[in-house]
A and B are shown apart, each in its own frame.
Chain A
């Protein structure tokens, strides 16, 4: 019974993953014979037509676009399972996987730290606001949430970089481009990264903290009106005991899901912020791939992001399974 659920979730994830792979393979092939058709490296401009055709034929062969779609698909799936996302169209045919892995840490610096920061402060403040219901701490939260959720993070980023960056010169407005090449885990370098990451993180997370805080506040209020909290109070338990062992265990469930969902969304959403600060992460990699119509790279990043989302979903489901005994018995959430 219990293990059934786990197996079912895993099978489900695998099924979705296969569908995503298939979509990833076919999307760049919609409406063209050959995904490389749109890729015109700048140096091709000075070529004659014959030279160009020659190069094109070569690319077709190199990337296997001359084979049938089905054969290509089989090849694609086979390589995927050995961790190979194919080769980029860029000169020198660099491996997509390597390009992604090179940029991934820089994106993770932004997204993971912002996730943790916003979850921590958001949950703490939300719980506090729920207990202060109707007082200043609470009304301030609600008022600021209306404002901040309506302000896209890149506008916050622009304003912050205008005021704190250009205006007051406290933080750099553009990320140090040498930072990523010279990074060597020395304390000074780590400090430099944090200094450069400060504005991106703040602007990505102001809205996030408020979002977490509001949803935490709401679920605390809803959970607090549940009967078992009244029972706990009627047992004369201390307020902190009620909060930690009765309220928290129940309101944490939806928040876990939110956290996992947020993780996948955040990496995708970092694209715009990376552009504001010239941050050399996956977002920038993706945007540049798009400018060059470098489909293998674009679809590689897409697949990578989708896989993170899938894994996050699976983790959330399994965490639910561990945390909520009702799910273990096949009940609905």
Chain B
């Protein structure tokens, strides 16, 4: 009984720690210009997805009922309608549900599996490592989009199946990165000394290795979410996405197959395009900001150079003069 309590306590503690780290991370992202934009976008789109039934003016599946087919943007139909008479604004709002949830869930699943497998390979070493890395090599060679198509053909195109397949073929790349980081950490002196003082494998893994790779993981989650969003959109565009719900990729596919171009229904293409673009860039902005926070050397922005532009020539001249003057305060002339 007591033992059981201990386990619960340990789990609660690690959960709390994770939450704290996550909170700190969010504050860091918030303090970063790019990150803040990304964060606001993700939260906004997620809220739209959650409250879709309250926000959408019409039923997005409602076809042919009002007879308003292929109507351009107007006060009645904010973003126009499809050639079947569906309200595009409502479709856009509902589409956010599938698109956002698939990519967030998949990204989290991929990060978990990738991390666990990568850490296992890197930390256990020897035979487990060799086996895992060969499996990874195989997974990475198989082209992602085609294999996803094959598997959906075999096992169906349900929402859950898509998440499963994306995860199945998404973890390999991450676990390779995690493994190499683990190897680096494993060879640091602090881990060696922890082992020397009798730290068990589990202890070392949770105390030293997991915190060491967590930065990479969180960054990766954001980037994976963006990647999954693109993949899901592409798949739906090919008519191979989930069959149950409206998604942005599916809207594009319908637009193309019903000849939205020929009919000049540009709003039908632009609206889901903006949805995809906004959410992909939101995740990417978060990813970029994390990359810059964790790895300042790779900084893609040029803050230093921007600062330089704000400095006027006279200001710099004065600064140099001040330096020289400070030198001579003692009253004794230099030379």
Contacts and interface: CB of A to CB of B under 8 A. Distances in A.
A306 B269 contact: no
A166 B154 contact: no
Given A16-B141, A27-B150, A173-B261, A146 B273 contact: no
B138 A268 contact: no
Contacts of A190: none
Q: Is the interface of B mostly helix, strand, loop or mixed?
A: helix
B134 A151 contact: no
- Sorting the interface of chain A by its residue count into under 10, 10 to 19, 20 to 34 or 35 or more gives 35 or more
A302 B147 contact: yes
B146 A15 contact: no
Interface stretch (A60-68, A152-160, A251-259): A152-160
B138 A23 contact: yes
Contacts of A299: 150
9 contacts: A16-B141, A134-B309, A142-B300, A155-B273, A159-B269, A166-B261, A173-B261, A271-B146, A287-B149
Contacts of B238: 271-272, 275, 287
A230 to B, nearest CB: 16
A267 B143 CA distance: 9
B44 to A, nearest CB: 16
A204 interface: no
B269 A275 contact: no
Contacts of A306: 141-143
A313 interface: yes
Contacts of A154: 233-234, 237, 252
A155 B252 contact: yes
Contacts of B298: 218, 222
Q: Is the interface of A mostly helix, strand, loop or mixed?
A: helix
Contacts of A15: 134
A158 B226 contact: no
B300 A214 contact: yes
B149 A264 contact: no
B141 A20 contact: yes
B193 interface: no
B158 interface: no
Report, nearest first, the 8 A-B pairs whose CB atoms are least far apart.
Answer: A134-B305, A150-B281, A268-B143, A134-B302, A150-B280, A166-B261, A305-B143, A152-B230
A15 B140 CA distance: 14
B138 A161 contact: no
B20 interface: no
Interface in B283-313: 284-285, 288, 297-298, 300-302, 304-306, 308-309
Given A16-B134, A271-B146, A146 B141 contact: no
B142 to A, nearest CB: 5
Nearest to A15: B134
A310 B146 CA distance: 16
Contacts of A151: 277, 280
Nearest to A308: B143
Contact of A276 (B151, B230, B256): B256
Contact of A134 (B149, B266, B273, B304): B304
A265 B147 CA distance: 13
A45 interface: no
B145 interface: yes
Contacts of B308: 134
Interface string B125-159: 00000000010011011111111011101110000
A290 interface: yes
